[in-house]
Copies of this chain bind each other. A is one copy, B any other.
Amino acid sequence: MTINEDLTHELLAFFNGFSSWENSIVRTSELTVSEAHALEVLGEHNKINMKGLAHRLGVTTGTTTVTVDRLEKKNFAHRESTKEDRRVNLISLTDIGKKAFEEHHDYHLHLTEQMTSVLSDDEIDQFLKTLKKINAETF
């Protein structure tokens, strides 16, 4: 077992764990999985266009159209077309949407706390640094 295989194994377990956790959270809420993912992205952007949102979610714009349709129907988000380029729709959260985001985001903050509770301060710092590097360089 090389370190690369070992790390691959842990990354998969981490991803599956994270994914399972997210599924179980969503099941108890008024959100679907794709809605929750969209909220997570929208909560960190004031306004974002469909293409950008689709890219951040890793799905096609067609899929994103459906997701945003649903968020609009629930009054969580709204579209707004721009004057500069009338093809573009900027998506943002409504007040209700922001509240739903905060609520979901609190679960994430809590999960992070749970993770870091088994780590030393140095480990936490290093973990954050490493994730930042990987996110910037790989994804």
Q: Is the CB of A23 within 8 A of B135?
A: no
Q: Is the CB of B137 within 8 A of A4?
A: no
Nearest-neighbour CB distance to chain B for A103, whole angstroms, equals: 14
Partner of A109, one of B5, B108, B124: B5
Nearest-neighbour CB distance to chain B for A28, whole angstroms, equals: 14
Q: With contacts A13-B139, A14-B139, A130-B127 known, is A112 near B20, CB below 8 A? A: no
Residues from chain B with Cβ under 8 Å of A15 in the complex? 15, 18-19
Residues from chain B with Cβ under 8 Å of A132 in the complex? 10
Q: Give the contacts of A38-64 with B (CB-CB under 8 A).
A: 40-41, 44, 56-59
Nearest-neighbour CB distance to chain B for A34, whole angstroms, equals: 11
A13-40 Cβ-contact flags toward B at 8 Å (1 or 0):
1111111110110000000000001001
